């Protein structure tokens, strides 16, 4: 009988993977990451690792980079997140890294659409007026006919574009790698000035950190709406506050830098800025969505089939 492959999964998640086909269960030995993984005698046997969704080394009591490096037979690391900026540099080239890309597309797209509509219809202002018991109508905008620019065009952006289509918007797209219907990043300075809504959904990389800087914001159309659903570090917070304070742009942010955003931080009160506290995937079925992708990859891996969401090349 062939050796069963040892899989270590995040503490408290073994129950999320107990409904596997019989042949997969026969091929894999599933167990949760032990309390002292670096001292565990079976560390050298681990073939697949599913790290915790939220990493806190102080709480976990071990260094994830050291754990991955010490697992000499490791073949696959399956992240429980769509973005892998937090782990990509910890995984050596000979080990496959996969994300759960696609698990949260509709959730993120719904939230981005809600944020856009909220600012176009001045919902933050009118909610504040209601809280004060005041009748303070403010002129609103029409979404139809707006020019939308996606900066970063992956599965979330594709989903959001479908949600925006019934409003009759005009869409342009930019990504790191140009392809049919999608311009390269070199076109950013050309397309930014004409966009009414700029939606940033890039991964966080060395190239995208600080992408939304003073130059980016200066190029934006006066009064345009910036939507950041990527990572807080993609934006220069000071530049963003300065642009909002001089009335250059408005912004909807589900991510910030720092995060959590401290009480009293000037970004909270920047004019025209609407913030939600990173709630894009904060739904009851969050965990089930992530593990649906993990489960599929476990089955594919056990059967020797092609994996989903393999991170390859430069992230």
Q: What is the pLDDT of residues 262-271, one digit of tens each?
A: 999 999 999 9
Count Cβ atoms within 10 A of the Cβ of residue 45 and give its class: 0-12 exposed, 13-18 middle, 19 or more buried: middle
Q: Which of 1-10, 184-193, 204-213 has the lowest mean pLDDT?
A: 1-10
Region 38-46: what's the mean pLDDT?
Answer: 96
CB atoms within 10 A of CB 36: 10
What's residue 58's pLDDT?
Answer: 45
> Residue 262 and residue 266: Cα distance in Å, rounded?
9
- Please answer whether residues 47 and 74 qualify as being in contact, where contact means their C-beta atoms are separated by less than 8 angstroms: yes
**Position 34 pLDDT exceeds 70:** yes
259 part of the active site: yes
Q: How far apart (Å, rounded) are the C-alpha atoms in residues 151 and 230?
A: 10
Q: Which domains does the chain have, with CATH numbers?
A: 5-103+285-302 (3.40.50.720), 105-275 (3.40.50.720)
- What's the pLDDT score for residue 54? 57
Predicted confidence (pLDDT) per residue in 241-252, tens digit: 999 999 999 999
Give the contacts of 117 (CB within 8 A, at least 6 positions apart).
123, 143
Catalytic site includes residue 231: yes
Q: What is residue 164's DSSP assignment? A: H
- In this predicted structure, what is the pLDDT of residue 228? 98
**The predicted structure's pLDDT at residue 3:** 84
- Is the Cβ–Cβ distance between 151 and 189 less than 8 Å? no
User: Which residue in 278, 287, 289, 300 is the catalytic one?
Assistant: 278
What average pLDDT does this structure show over 97-112? 96
Considering only residues 62 and 262, tell me which one the structure prediction assigns the higher pLDDT.
Answer: 262
H helices of the chain, where? 22-27, 57-60, 64-70, 105-120, 123-131, 155-164, 188-191, 214-219, 237-245, 286-302
CB neighbours (10 Å) of residue 209? 15
Residues 52/71, Cβ–Cβ less than 8 Å = no
CA-based nearest residue to 119, from 36, 199, 219, 3? 199
Helix (H) or strand (E) holding 175: strand 170-175
Task: Say how far apart CA 207 and CA 203 lie, in whole Å.
Answer: 10
Radius of gyration of the chain (CA): 22
Which three-class secondary structure state does DSSP give residue 20? coil
On the question of pLDDT at 85 being above 50, the answer is: yes
Question: pTM value?
Answer: 0.91
With CA atoms as reference, report the closest residue to 96 among 84, 72, 78: 78
pLDDT for residue 313: 76
Let me know how many helices (H) and strands (E) the chain has, helices first: 10, 12
* Residue of 264, 212, 268 lying closest to 243 (CA atoms): 212
Is residue 60 pLDDT above 80, yes or no?
A: no
Q: 47, 101, 173, 231: which one is catalytic? A: 231
pLDDT above 50 (res 199): yes
Cβ burial 263-279 (10 Å sphere, 16+ → b, else e) = eeeebeebebbbbbebe
Asked if residue 57 has pLDDT above 60, the reply is no
- Give the pLDDT mean for 188-213: 96
Taking residues 62-67, what's their average pLDDT?
91
Which residue is associated with the tokens 């496959």?
96
Q: For residue 192, which of 226, 161, 219 has the smallest C-alpha distance?
A: 219
- Say what the pLDDT of residue 61 is: 63
The arithmetic mean of pLDDT across residues 53-73, rounded, is 77
Length of the chain measured in residues:
315
Separation of alpha carbons 159 and 13, rounded Å: 29
pLDDT for residue 117? 98
Q: Which of 259, 285, 305, 314 is catalytic?
A: 259
How far apart, in Å, do the first and last CA atoms of the chain sit? 39
Q: Is the pLDDT of residue 147 over 50?
A: yes
pLDDT tens figures, 276-315: 999 998 999 999 999 999 999 999 999 999 999 999 877 7
Of 99, 80, 71, give the one whose Cα is nearest residue 11.
80
């Amino acid at each position: 009988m062939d050796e069963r492959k040892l899989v270590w999964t995040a503490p408290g998640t073994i129950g999320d993977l107990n409904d596997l086909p019989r042949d997969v269960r026969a091929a894999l030995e599933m167990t949760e990451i032990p309390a002292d993984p670096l001292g565990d005698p079976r560390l050298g046997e681990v073939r697949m690792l599913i790290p915790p969704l939220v990493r806190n080394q102080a709480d976990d009591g071990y260094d994830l980079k050291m754990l991955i490096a010490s697992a000499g037979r490791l073949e696959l690391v399956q992240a429980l997140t769509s973005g892998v900026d937090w782990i990509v540099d910890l995984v050596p080239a000979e080990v496959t890294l996969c994300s759960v890309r696609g698990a949260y597309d509709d959730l993120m797209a719904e939230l981005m659409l809600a944020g856009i509509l909220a600012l176009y219809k001045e919902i933050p202002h009118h909610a504040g007026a209601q809280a004060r018991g005041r009748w303070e109508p403010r002129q609103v905008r029409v979404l139809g006919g707006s020019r939308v620019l996606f900066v970063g065009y992956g599965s979330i952006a594709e989903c959001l574009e479908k949600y925006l289509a019934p409003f009759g918007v005009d869409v342009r797209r930019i990504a790191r790698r140009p392809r049919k219907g999608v311009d390269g990043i070199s076109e950013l300075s050309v397309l930014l000035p004409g966009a009414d809504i700029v939606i940033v959904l890039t991964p966080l990389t060395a190239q995208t950190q600080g992408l939304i800087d003073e130059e980016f914001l200066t190029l934006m159309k006066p009064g345009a709406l910036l939507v950041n659903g990527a990572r807080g570090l993609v934006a220069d917070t000071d530049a963003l506050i300065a642009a909002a304070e001089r009335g250059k742009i408005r912004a909807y942010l589900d991510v910030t830098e720092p995060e959590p955003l401290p009480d009293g931080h000037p970004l909270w009160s920047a004019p025209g800025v609407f913030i939600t506290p990173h709630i894009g995937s904060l739904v009851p079925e969050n965990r089930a969505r992530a593990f649906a992708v993990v489960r599929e990859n476990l089955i594919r891996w056990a059967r020797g089939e092609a994996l989903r969401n393999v991170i390859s090349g430069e992230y």
